[in-house]
Structure 1
């Protein structure tokens, strides 16, 4: 985001927060909002003033869903205050004392093995969300030297970037969203990674390819539909990391994997979100 633009900031409070928050962010993204900050009790959403109108929320279906209570207020962010607002809300994170995820305006921290710079725009995956955080933890535990990796639903590209830094020979990063595709390419270049190839598309791009590790942080229904394709694309003794679903969905995901010759190894849980590891 440039500091010569004026933005409109919306502050949403959502009860109950899940799964409404993720749906709200997705629908706001389709309406033209380009950045989001998830606070403990609210979601901040930003859109350029030139792209905004008073009826911008008219087509956001979840706002009228009786199962959720969503309140909001909005205000204009003066351009001279924009950088301060963004920096205040986007804090760097450190995963397992080994991997730092930060924005370009943050200073690096000494002692971390992996220093990843992410400009998130409206893409998913800064490490702040539980699923991204847990997937980063899983990747840190794996030996990826010389491995071929697939990151499905790559968002900002942060998981693909860490896989490359962990020694992967090649990484394919795939996302169906054009904004994520563009953003991931920018972040790969920003981190000077030359062995990550970013694609715009869905699981059909995997046909005929093979991988040692497949990472998929999407949502339950897409995972259930795509697990057969992941199984076919995994090399012998390959690893599948899945996240984007809740604790109560783990049995369903594991059963689908079992049907497709994938064995459950372990899972991590964080605030009712799960990231699970399977092998073939």
Structure 2
């Protein structure tokens, strides 16, 4: 099968935050599929078939005088993109219990050794939101629990939940690449009882869970919180991330309307991950 052709954009960004996060969000809206952060800024990839000459024309962050952002672009084939993330993807450790690594990294003596081949999916553990969600899982009893990983990306949260003793895990993502990548990673980590589905919150009708993990974005979370609340068993736990500190009041207020009480939060570079109980 012929290789897919991508356009690689190499963005130099100063200062890096929050410009990088805003740029990723805006690029995702215009068709970019994957991103690799580096010391200088960001590599971003869009299929050549989805590219157009003025693809960056309406990006707000590029017009913001508070940030200096320059870029160049070139064509690459998919194999070159995979080599690029391999070069930039380093193993991470969450506390002293969990390691997230690629297949080409050596394992270490940790309780939870997770092997992830991210390709074009979100959720390697490097981003602040994923890292905080992993911390929440490590600090929570999952033994015998039914779990939902909503917006699963690579499936890393679902995999750790299963490793921590969850009796069943559903992993859902609307993106086909994430759906396929999660299935691969679930198999790679020998995790039984994880079911991966492609879709959105409409798949949750008549489903019940003890713990729900949702690392998505502010707007989707606000829209789907009523669905999550309906799906939670009595005494259940909802972990949310993918939003900033300034969004916490709106998220907590919406949760409160549906009987979900804020318990605690983690903060990393203005990103928030919060725990709610019912």
TM-score with structure 1 length normalisation? 0.87
User: Which of 211, 225, 228 in structure 2 is aligned with 1:227?
Assistant: 225
Query: Hey, what's the Cα distance between the residues in 2 that align with 1:53 and 1:181?
Result: 22
How do residues 11-22 of structure 1 correspond to structure 2 at under 5 angstroms? 11-14=10-13, 16-17=18-19, 19-22=21-24
Instruction: Kindly provide the CA deviation profile for residues 40-75 of structure 1, in whole angstroms up to 9, marking residues without a partner as x.
Output: 44111346xxx5379545334554653475421134
What is aligned with 2:262? 264
Query: Hey, what's the Cα distance between the residues in 1 that align with 2:206 and 2:78?
Result: 49
Unaligned runs of 5+ in 1: none
Query: Hey, what's the Cα distance between the residues in 2 that align with 1:191 and 1:114?
Result: 10
Distance change >3 Å, CA 252–CA 58, structure 1 → 2: same
Instruction: Kindly provide the CA deviation profile for residues 70-95 of structure 1, in whole angstroms up to 9, marking residues without a partner as x.
Output: 42113466999877643331111000
In 1, are the aligned partners of 2:20 and 2:42 still within 8 Å (CA)? no
Shift of 1:27: 3.8
What is aligned with 1:58? 54
In 2, are the aligned partners of 1:14 and 1:21 still within 8 Å (CA)? no
Greater Cα offset, 60-69 or 243-252: 60-69
Distance change >3 Å, CA 181–CA 57, structure 1 → 2: farther
TM-score with structure 2 length normalisation? 0.87
Q: State the aligned residue count.
A: 271
Alpha carbon RMSD of aligned pairs, Å?
Answer: 2.7
What is aligned with 1:134? 132
Shift of 1:255: 0.8
Q: Equivalent residue of 2:142, what SS?
A: coil
Query: Hey, what's the Cα distance between the residues in 1 that align with 2:228 and 2:112?
Result: 28
Distance change >3 Å, CA 174–CA 81, structure 1 → 2: closer
What is aligned with 1:95? 94
Shift of 1:17: 1.2
What is aligned with 1:109? 108
User: Which of 232, 246, 252 in structure 1 is aligned with 2:244?
Assistant: 246
Distance change >3 Å, CA 57–CA 182, structure 1 → 2: farther
